[in-house]
Structure 1
Amino acid sequence: MHYPPFSGRRRGVLAATLVGATLAAAGCAGSAPSAGGAKGAHTIVIGVGQEPDSLSPILGYSKDGAAKLFDGLLAHDADLGLVPALARALPEVSADGLTYTYRLRDRLSFSDGRPLTSADVAFTYRTILDPTVPTTVRSDLAALDRVAAPDPGTVVFTLKYPYAPFPQRTTLGIVPEHALGTLTGPALTTAEFNRKPIGSGPYTVDTWRAGEKLVLKANPNYWGGEPAIKQVTFAFILDDNTRATRLAAGDLDAAALPPKLAERFAKDRTRSTLKVDTADYRGVMLPSGNPVTGDLAVRKALDLAVDRGAMVRGILNGDGAPAFGPVAPSSPLYARELEHAVDAPAAERLLDEAGWRKGDGGIRVKDGRAARFTLLYPAGDALRKDLALAYVSDAKRIGIDISVEGLTWDAIEPRMRADALLMGQGAPYDPDFVSYETFHSSLAGQAFNNPGHYRNASVDALLTEGRTTRDPARRAQVYGDLQRALAADPAWTFLTYLKHVYVVDNDWTGVGGQVEPHPHDLVGPWWNIEKWVPRAASATTS
């Protein structure tokens, strides 16, 4: 039984290119040895381009599930429907939509052997609601008034107002009160738990070496059964080219790669290339406080001038789609009428009418100020760099001069209020997710929530109504209006939606994908790695 996401996403989420044969071909000349096979198919090394800041769900780690270290009350299946996890069934919902009651499975425990009860569930959510705890997750639970644990096996959530997607918020991992209950407020951000957590998921942390790797080991007492893969290593390799090189050398069994870099493995019969549909978009965040990017005419001109189709073809190798707003083209809520072709002449007319006149070198000037600003991107992210350079080229054609800087995230964060940023966002679960925190003015400047301090009263009102109304038809209208409001007053220049591309050794069965969000955590086709089976073992038992 599924509790379907509001987005109405379609089934068949994985578009996979299966490259060649299976592990039997691993010894063919000209192919790197299978890293999984070389080390044993019960271990896997995965190259990823991001490292978590923390492993605590309270601080936002894998808040939408698939954490591997934690389970929530519910989980997403392959089609993003909701299925029971720590809860034995989907919630019982009151007629007014304000009360959700969950019943827990029997004999649940944490990885340290201590029992997991409703008190731990209540503790997890109450801690996030505590205003002294510095967490970005609290805005996700704005509708939650209180949580009660009337008995060890029952949890009752009471909302302030009806919030249609609330069950999807209960994929959040549950933490043990006995490990964190003595800590308060900011102390939770420095707790040892954040690096060596106690959870209820299929894996536990073995070691975490910052900037190098995170090693997980199978939890033999996992309620869902001990995983066949006994050790999972996430190698943190921020540079895309380095990740591809290490995969080719056999140092990795799997890796996330940009489409162009994945091409080199297209004829490798020991590996499969997986192209996974996403709601993950890239765009240029335009800070409101910058006198150039804060000008509405500049923002609208850039939206007209950018050649999204060329980016999809030339940079993504066709593995994506043009982006015109924060709702993916695959969603039934997508406002297709907002799609438009590149129109540099219209962009130039708009700038002329707004008083931005071409000056020396063809760069526009208004009131003595040149149409010039800086665009930041995270160093080592080859895809964002390519998108940034294409954006700069398109802007130059209409007289806007943009300089590009690739920096670390630590260097980027303090500059976001003044400088543009090539950002990524998006989630497939519900249209409220991500959009509220990205565009609502109440969250302006809260880390990466609305970093450009965008303020639009109409957008605020739509975002608020979208999360408070229960009527599906009205919600559809609201999110259509939201897309139109963001097109009329762009907070971002939306560029492309991506397919996430992975290359995985052919050592396991059960590998598959979900429609994915923007990956802030260890997202990938390993979302269900606890269910993967070594291919040799699978062949033996078949």
Structure 2
Amino acid sequence: MVSSTTAAVGPLRGWRWGALFAVVALLSGCMGQPPANTPAPTHTLAVGATLEPPTMNPSSSSAASIPQVLLYNVYETLVKMNPEGKLVPLLAQTWDVSKDRTVYTFRLNPAAHFASGKPVTAQAVVTSFNRIKTESGIVSSLVDQMAVVKSTEAVDDHTVKVTLNHPSNLWLYDISSTVGIIYDPAGLATLDTTPAGSGPFALQSWNKGQCVVLGPNRSYWGTPPRLDSVTFRYFLDPNAMNAAMLAGDIDVISNLQAPDALDQFGDPSRFTVIDGTTTGEVVLALNNARPAFKDVRVRKAISMAIDKRSLLDNVWNGKGTLIGSMAVPTDPWYEDLTSINGYDPSAAKKLLADAKATNLSLKLRVPTTAYATKSAQFVESALRQVGVKVTVEELDFTTWLNEVHGSGKDHPGGNYDMSIVAHVEARDLRRFTDPNYYFHYDNPTYDKQFEAADEATADELVPMMRKAVRTLAQDAAAVWLFALPNLVITKNTVTGVPQNAAALSFDLTTIANR
């Protein structure tokens, strides 16, 4: 899943009128009103974010801005990923796995209800899982994650049995995220605008282009939230978001868009700075279907031409981690692979000459998030030094999703040579096994290594997955620029924001605002 919620800009130098006008306009349109006959909110939270969800349907778009708002807050899953990356019970109180690791038996919490008041039953789980496999318009990456499921059946009202085609180490982690959302079957027809979940919050209003307002689910079956109202406010101008935070008009910056602006929030009597990790790999994607990239020497040359350390220092103020492949430090199989195809412009020129690609001209199409646009300018300059001409084109995120990444049968994507985006879904190595995914990477050796690792025993998993991760690096399937840090700014009255972002959710269930 790709991130539309993180960006990077230069430091704020004074209060600009444009930023102030943007704040005023935003605030005037985002004062959500509670439903009739409900108490006025007393504990509220305003969260600054970058791009709003394009839809309220998590299964129809791969934009990370959707689960940022809805996952664990409005929608729930059988199991949940905690900030330490561990699986904990949510809708399922317990679960068992058969000795051959192909049958999972989940026992649902009998108290669980959807916001509609209907109970969360085993049949609702069956319907939710089956629709991923059978319904049209589902995001292809979700279909891939659920492809391992042979059958899902209701044993009784509160017991679900899921049978896999073969063992999978990653499947249980997958269903802690978007693919594992349990929907109220009665609300499936209107998911684009009206969520149908069982979480502690419910959608109160969506002012498109400005904000999403959540209110408490008054009939929530679990521990009630400590917030009466939460507003996600969307800022196209990152200076406006900083200005809103400094003025006290928002309570949280969900992921700081400019690490070089940290000093503005250095007063501990006003602000708390949270510096943790995320699952987001910032990837310079190579369209492996393009003739130039079918030659591994060209792919390696692109990687060798880029000084990733210098890029990180310039684009993200040195914050984050250089990684070298599709794994981040919180993954159990992570190892530092930055030396593979590392910075060596002389070697890059030789590889290009050997491949007869000395007059290469490429189009780099990126979404208008600042980490992508600033990285693109750095990449263009670096590749120019080795004789590769790069034309940078900046796209709004919806256009990028449709034309580059792909967002459904009417928008297959793939219209690019190179792109840059943060892939924020946890343990997303499976993307490189799908030649139809926008990477268009097709390597049977990697596919076999990945599948063998996914099916391996617990003792074999880490070394076998490391082998697959190393193959991606050696084959230069993409260029990994850096892993995103989790930089969150809060007012000092806000507590309970986790240090690490191990899931796609901006999880509100632990947060309070005094």
Provide the rounded CA distance (Å) in 2 between the counterparts of 1:50 and 1:66. Answer: 16
Provide the rounded CA distance (Å) in 2 between the counterparts of 1:485 and 1:320. Answer: 23
Question: Per-residue displacement from partner, 1:479-520 (whole Å, max 9, x unpaired)?
Answer: 222223222322211111110212111123322233435x5x
Aligned-pair distance for 1:88?
Answer: 1.8
What residue number does 1:457 align with?
444
Aligned-pair distance for 1:120?
Answer: 0.8
Match of 2:92, SS? Answer: coil
Give the counterpart letter for 2:355 in structure 1.
A
Corresponding position: 1:152 with 2:160: no
Corresponding position: 1:109 with 2:103: no
Provide the rounded CA distance (Å) in 1 between the counterparts of 2:387 and 2:274. Answer: 40
What residue number does 2:461 align with?
475
Match of 2:117, SS? Answer: coil
Question: Per-residue displacement from partner, 1:302-322 (whole Å, max 9, x unpaired)?
Answer: 211211111222322221111
Instruction: Find the partner of 2:361 among 367, 372, 392.
Output: 372
Instruction: Find the partner of 1:405 among 393, 407, 417.
Output: 393
Corresponding position: 1:178 with 2:222: no
What residue number does 2:239 align with?
241
Corresponding position: 1:272 with 2:272: yes
The normalised TM-score by structure 1 is: 0.78
2:256–2:489 Cα contact (<8 Å) kept: yes
Provide the rounded CA distance (Å) in 2 between the counterparts of 1:88 and 1:116. Answer: 13
Q: What is the aligned-residue identity percentage?
A: 25
Provide the rounded CA distance (Å) in 2 between the counterparts of 1:127 and 1:372. Answer: 43
What residue number does 2:139 align with?
135
Aligned-pair distance for 1:260?
Answer: 2.1
1:58–1:127 Cα contact (<8 Å) kept: no
What residue number does 1:441 align with?
434
Aligned-pair distance for 1:337?
Answer: 5.0
For structure 2, list consecutive stretches of 5 or more residues without a partner in the other structure.
Answer: 1-22, 28-39, 405-413
Match of 1:465, SS? Answer: helix
Match of 2:67, SS? Answer: coil
Provide the rounded CA distance (Å) in 1 between the counterparts of 2:204 and 2:474. Answer: 50
Match of 2:403, SS? Answer: helix
1:66–1:75 Cα contact (<8 Å) kept: no
Match of 1:88, SS? Answer: strand
Give the counterpart letter for 1:514 in structure 2.
N
Cα 1:531–1:410 change in 2 (3 A) is closer
Match of 1:387, SS? Answer: helix
Cα 1:495–1:94 change in 2 (3 A) is same
Aligned-pair distance for 1:343?
Answer: 1.3
Give the counterpart letter for 1:170 in structure 2.
I
What residue number does 1:257 align with?
256
Cα 1:409–1:78 change in 2 (3 A) is closer
1:289–1:453 Cα contact (<8 Å) kept: yes
What residue number does 1:327 align with?
327
1:145–1:158 Cα contact (<8 Å) kept: yes
Corresponding position: 1:119 with 2:123: yes
Match of 1:321, SS? Answer: coil
For structure 1, list consecutive stretches of 5 or more residues without a partner in the other structure.
Answer: 1-31, 181-190, 357-363, 366-370, 445-449, 536-542
Aligned-pair distance for 1:421?
Answer: 0.8
What residue number does 1:306 align with?
306
What residue number does 1:447 align with?
none
Provide the rounded CA distance (Å) in 1 between the counterparts of 2:245 and 2:393. Answer: 28
Provide the rounded CA distance (Å) in 2 between the counterparts of 1:197 and 1:40. Answer: 21
What residue number does 2:97 align with?
93
Provide the rounded CA distance (Å) in 2 between the counterparts of 1:533 and 1:244. Answer: 21
Corresponding position: 1:230 with 2:228: yes
Size of the aligned set, in residue pairs, is: 456
Aligned-pair distance for 1:219?
Answer: 1.3
Aligned-pair distance for 1:338?
Answer: 5.0
1:293–1:373 Cα contact (<8 Å) kept: no
1:254–1:503 Cα contact (<8 Å) kept: yes
Provide the rounded CA distance (Å) in 1 between the counterparts of 2:42 and 2:394. Answer: 38
**CA RMSD between the two structures:** 2.5
Provide the rounded CA distance (Å) in 1 between the counterparts of 2:153 and 2:135. Answer: 18
1:287–1:294 Cα contact (<8 Å) kept: no
2:364–2:416 Cα contact (<8 Å) kept: no
Mean Cα deviation higher: 126-135 or 112-121: 126-135
